[in-house]
Structure 1
Amino acid sequence: MKSGTKLSMSVNWVTHLNEAFYSSYEFVPDGELHEFENKEVAHQLRCEISNSSTMMIEFLTYGQTKLKAVHEIMPNGYLKITQEGISPEGKRFRNIEIYHKQMSVLPYASSIGGVVIRPTKEDVIRHQALQAMEEQTDMQLDQIREQIELLARQAQEIVKRKEMSMMIYDAKLNFRPIIGHVYHLYQNKDDSYILSMVSPKEWGGNGPFKQFIASAKLLADHTWMEV
């Protein structure tokens, strides 16, 4: 950034009563005091960008700080604004606010002092439209996310059925399986597989086999589903 380069800040916000406000001003982020154009708000302004995620803006009148606001982008992407100053009643205050939405969509005021603050009907309409848009897109994204999760579960079930089917069709079959019936897969002592109509419960254990693998039902598409 070149020395003396001015930056501009514009803030739109809407209160819970749907009152819209707008604030904008220019400043030089060099850490030095500069005259402020609106003396009703402040006589001087000082701004400093200390690092890539932190900026400090200070408003002064007769050398006294009226408002100091530190804007910090947090590691999770949220915007943290810490404000310290003197209220119109002469009381000192300190506020910390965390913003996790676009600034133009915030449903509450940021309470930062600014220049030419006025309610506008257009901003109320814009806020309501943006809020409705955000709610609709979030709902649609949630629906898509649920569909993706469902498809992922279905894909996992298909993979499991395929793996089970490959094992069974590689096993020894001494009969013709019937669709809808449940059969039982065992591993022989020579590590080969065999499909049986007799369950481990009926055998009273693994029967003459090395171990019981799984019970599975033959489906209409000739895949096997573990049960």
Structure 2
Amino acid sequence: MKSKIPDNVVFSEDKGYNASLLPYSTNVGAPVIKMDDVVSWKSRGINNVNKEFENKFNELKEQYESLMIEYKWNELVYNAKFSFEPVIGEIYHLYSNNDGTNVLSLIAPNEWNKEHIGTFKLNSEKKWVRILY
């Protein structure tokens, strides 16, 4: 009959007492080995990063749309007919003629019976900024 070895003793028939060689604790009083929940940590990290990317994408999208609107207004004003050199800081009004062309003028909408498209101001960068009039 073989001698019975207690359960809390690490003994292997092949290797004998090898508790000091094992990568895990073998003593009853040793701390609990607990696996970290890496999957949930990764999931939370991915969600946070995706939200940050989505917010940044939405900001860039809004900036792009705003830039495209500015570009279209500038294209419209620069393609309009005018026979003077606009002064920076001065307010100008854009009108539509009956033939479909646009005209830039200093005349205010309440002083002229034409279809008013918009009011603009030329800034120091030579960009037309639409203003409410």
CA distance in 2, matches of 1:187, 1:136: 55
CA distance in 1, matches of 2:56, 2:91: 31
Q: Secondary structure at the match of 1:121?
A: coil
What percent identity do the matched residue pairs reach? 23
Greater Rg, structure 1 or structure 2? 2
Equivalence for 2:108 = 199
Ranges in structure 2 where 5+ consecutive residues have no aligned partner: 1-32
Equivalence for 2:42 = 133
Equivalence for 1:148 = 57
Q: Secondary structure at the match of 1:186?
A: strand
* 1:222 maps to 2:129: no
Report the residue type matching 1:187 in the other structure.
S
Consecutive aligned runs of 4 or more in structure 1 exceeding 6 Å deviation: none
Number of aligned residue pairs: give it: 100
Shift in CA distance, 144/180, structure 1 to aligned 2, threshold 3 Å: farther
Q: Displacement, 1:180? A: 4.1
Q: Displacement, 1:157? A: 1.6
Equivalence for 1:213 = 117
Q: Displacement, 1:169? A: 1.2
CA distance in 2, matches of 1:218, 1:157: 18
If each structure's helix is expressed as a fraction of its own residues, which one has the higher value?
2
1:121 is aligned, of 31, 34, 40, to 34
Q: Secondary structure at the match of 1:142?
A: helix
Please say if residues 162 and 223 of structure 1, whose CA atoms lie closer than 8 Å, have aligned partners that are also in contact. no
Q: Displacement, 1:148? A: 1.1
Q: Displacement, 1:226? A: 2.5
If each structure's strand is expressed as a fraction of its own residues, which one has the higher value?
1
Report the residue type matching 1:153 in the other structure.
E
Q: Displacement, 1:185? A: 0.6
Please say if residues 187 and 212 of structure 1, whose CA atoms lie closer than 8 Å, have aligned partners that are also in contact. yes
Shift in CA distance, 140/180, structure 1 to aligned 2, threshold 3 Å: farther
TM-score, length of structure 2 as denominator length = 0.61
Q: Render the CA deviation track for 1:107-135: whole Å, top value 9, x for unaligned.
A: xxxxxxxxxxxxx721xx1x2x3333322
Q: Displacement, 1:162? A: 1.7
TM-score, length of structure 1 as denominator length = 0.38
Counterpart mapping for 1:1-227 below 5 A: 121-122=34-35, 125=36, 127=37, 129-201=38-110, 203=111, 207-209=112-114, 211-227=115-131
Ranges in structure 1 where 5+ consecutive residues have no aligned partner: 1-119
CA distance in 1, matches of 2:127, 2:49: 34
CA distance in 2, matches of 1:133, 1:178: 58
Q: Displacement, 1:155? A: 1.3
